[in-house]
Amino acid sequence: MRKAVLLIIISSIVAWAQTSPLSPEQRATFHGRQSEAIEPFHIVGNIYYVGARNIASYLITTPEGHIMIDTGTKEMHDVVRANVAKLGFKLQEIKILLSGHAHFDHVQGHAAMKKATGAKVMAIGEDARALSAGADLSPLGDEGWEPVKVDRVLKDGDTVTLGGTTLRAVWTPGHTPGCTTWTTRTEEKGRAYSIVFQACGGPNAGVKLIGNTKFPKLVEDTLRTFQTQKALKPDIYLPMHPESYFAGKVDRIKSGETPHPLLDPNAYAKLIADTETNFQKRLQEERAKASTSGK
């Protein structure tokens, strides 16, 4: 009986993954070029970049240990480990593992990193369930990862504090059911900076928006997320796919240029406005297609 139930669960996960809008070529770029190693660097205050070419992993250091946001693809585990060491930090001092959202390109390294560090994994609601299951339970429905124990299930507005640094979890679903916009503050050269780790836009391209039977509130959740994000006013936002965003700025950051090369209080508002505009366009196109087909 238990074997039969297990087979049903596995079959359901496989069927879910087969609905993914990602093509094999798109998925290959995440495991290939986007996961390639680059040199780590100090961003601002106690925040460092330890990720790959175009898949982020952020290290937030404190006197009592460190916090990591996102571990990337399975290919990135050695990249992230090496980058932490290159910056002079000890992997074993990572105490907390967070994530922006539960997709393979951001959390596939969680289990290996937890084993290497003993860090506590924390995540919001449905994304916590996905991490524990090792399955993508989002509208994307793509490949999974090694299941990882979630030590603390968070709610909207919960805070995570370590060594004088506090991050706040802002629930912003749509991209995934438990997608989380992390906010914090840091200081550098006598100036305080408000920071947003931007991991939550609209659902992936190719995902059915209107009448999605698995996610009937997908449109409603996404529109509410945009409203939530509009209320955030960061000095700097840090994306989870940062290659184009960092282009031409890394050397300037390393040189200590002032004002900070990423400082732009209007950049986040523009990003959210553009993302919402694109989402509304997708909605209009879906409605038009449905009307034309008579569905």
Report which residue type is found at 43: I
* 3-class secondary structure, 36: coil
Query: What tokens does 63 get?
Result: 């006197």
DSSP state of 144: -
Q: Is 220 helix (H, G, I), strand (E, B) or coil?
A: helix
Q: Are strands 236-239 and 191-198 parallel, antiparallel or unpaired?
A: parallel
Report the candidate in 232, 251, 120 with the shortest Cα–Cα distance to residue 185.
Answer: 232
Mean pLDDT by 10 residues, the chain (295 residues): 38 42 94 98 98 98 98 98 98 98 98 98 97 98 97 98 98 98 97 98 96 97 98 98 98 97 97 98 94 70
Round to whole Å and give the CA distance between 101 and 173.
9
Residue 145 to residue 132: CA distance in whole angstroms: 10
Coil, strand, or helix at residue 159? strand
3-state secondary structure of 227: helix
Q: How many CB atoms lie within 10 A of CB 183?
A: 18
Cβ count near 167 (within 10 Å):
23
- pLDDT in the model for residue 295: 52
Strands (E), the chain: 41-44, 47-49, 58-62, 65-69, 94-98, 120-124, 152-154, 159-162, 165-171, 180-188, 191-198, 236-239
Give me the number of domains the chain comprises. Answer: 1
Look-up of token digits 């060594």: 163
Q: Please state whether beta strands 120-124 and 94-98 pair in parallel, antiparallel, or not at all (unpaired).
A: parallel
* pTM of this structure: 0.93
Q: How far apart are CA 27 and CA 165, in angstroms?
A: 35
Distance CA 253, CA 230 (A): 27
- Phi, psi (deg, nearest 5) at residue 214: -75, -30
- Domain with 121 in it: what CATH number? 3.60.15.10
Domain that holds residue 63: 2-293
CA–CA separation, 241 vs 52, rounded Å? 9
